Amino acid sequence: MAHWPKTVSGNLLIFAFTLAVAPLAVAAAVALSGPLVWALLVIVALVIVGMVIWRRRVDAARERAWVGSFSFGDVVRRRHAKEALDPIG
């Protein structure tokens, strides 16, 4: 599965690609203009929007699941606190 880029340059590249492909898709639809072609384009657009919304919900749920879970930073903080309380150290 493809992932959305996390950098500004990656987002700009995706945006430029979309700007390049969208007119080609519209030109092809006009060349093949008919109700079936337009209906298929609407269905494809709705499926893509639905998948984007679903993906964002999944990512948000994953982020919420990580809140408060085990992390390496927690272990380091506990070790430092334990060492600070050690009278021999």
- pLDDT tens per residue, range 5-58: 778 888 898 889 889 998 888 888 778 778 887 888 899 999 999 999 999 999
* pLDDT per position as a tens digit, 12-25: 988 898 899 988 88
Sorted by sequence, the CB contacts under 8 Å of residue 25 that are 6+ apart come out as 41
Ordered by start, the domain boundaries in the chain are 1-33, 35-89
User: Which pTM does this prediction carry?
Assistant: 0.46
Contact between residue 57 and residue 65 where contact means Cβ atoms under 8 Å apart: no
Sorted by sequence, the CB contacts under 8 Å of residue 4 that are 6+ apart come out as 11, 14
How does residue 89 score in pLDDT terms, banded at 50, 70 and 90? low
Residue 69's φ and ψ, nearest 5 degrees, are -85, 175
How does residue 1 score in pLDDT terms, banded at 50, 70 and 90? very low
